[in-house]
Chains A and B, each alone.
Chain A
Amino acid sequence: MLNFNSTIKQKKTYSDIKIEEIEPIIKINLRSKKREFSKKIGKILSILPPTEANTSSGNEDYNLLWLSPDEWLVYSNNKNQSLKEQIDMEDKLFDEISKLNQGAVTNVSDHWVMINFKGHKIYDLLSKSCPFNFNEFKRKKGSVAQTLVNHVDVILHNKYDNELNLFVRRSFSEDLWLWINDSARFI
């Protein structure tokens, strides 16, 4: 667990776009249909899971993204969080939720690669090969979208104005990274 091995290992800067992989950060998938679940998450993370579609909630330490009516993704904001802190947080969630049959807690830190995009033209870049309409997404801070970029499944999280985090499965990350860099040259 948490034995990160980045597939990308690069930072790239183009005119108006900066792209880099952010790692290591913990990512945890949460699933539940129970009522008690929200309270428990609120106690442990000090954030309530968003119930509104395509939104997120967060504090200084963590973000909680809506993935479906009974599924959320937690990821850390802090790249410098110690391994012990990360494991403690995961254990707390696991003990309070999975062990008590309130839902499922799965560590997906190595499953998803998070790529951070900054710049004025990030939506122009993604729109080159994405069927998603970004008009509303880019206006609303904290928006979440699961869609396709260059035929690869991704999760997008609008962090700030002109800054977003993109999650892609590790096995597809290198391919997507090559496409992103190839396309960014012509923006």
Chain B
Amino acid sequence: MFIINCPYCGERDQSEFSCGGEAHIERPKQPTELSDDQWAEYLFMRKNIKGIQFERWNHAHGCRKWFNVVRDTSNDKIHAVYKMGERPPLK
């Protein structure tokens, strides 16, 4: 269990949120030109790294807004939270 600072509601318990997976995955501009492997790569393949990961989260039991989180998956430490459309604060 950990605390997430929702950019709209403030600090809330993790149980109010749901994780939407890796963030900043761009949809290919011409999907019809991709091979099946490339399409599968975009659709299914995610990093799932041990360390700092950029993720999308949804405050499902609160304001129901989506936002991005920079989280260290090895210790659940949250380094940054930022709204959708904003630039990631770290790289």
The answer to whether B65 and A147 have CB atoms under 8 Å apart is no
Q: Which residues of B contact A (CB under 8 A)?
A: 8-13, 15-16, 61-65
Report Cα–Cα, A139/B65, bound state, in Å: 26
The answer to whether A148 and B15 have CB atoms under 8 Å apart is yes
Chain A count of residues within 8 A CB distance of the other chain:
13
7 new A-B contacts, CB < 8 A, other than A146-B9, A147-B62, are A67-B63, A69-B65, A71-B63, A131-B16, A132-B12, A147-B12, A153-B61
Contact partner, A68, options B13, B61, B63, Cβ 8 Å: B63
The answer to whether B61 and A69 have CB atoms under 8 Å apart is no
Q: Which B residue sits closest to A67, measured CB to CB? A: B63
Report Cα–Cα, A69/B13, bound state, in Å: 20
Report Cα–Cα, A68/B62, bound state, in Å: 8
Question: Considering the complex of A and B, which 8 residue pairs feature the smallest CB-CB distances, nearest first?
Answer: A131-B13, A68-B63, A146-B62, A131-B15, A148-B61, A153-B61, A53-B9, A53-B8
Report Cα–Cα, A153/B17, bound state, in Å: 12
Least distance between B18 CB and chain A CB atoms (Å) = 12
Q: Which B residue sits closest to A66, measured CB to CB? A: B63
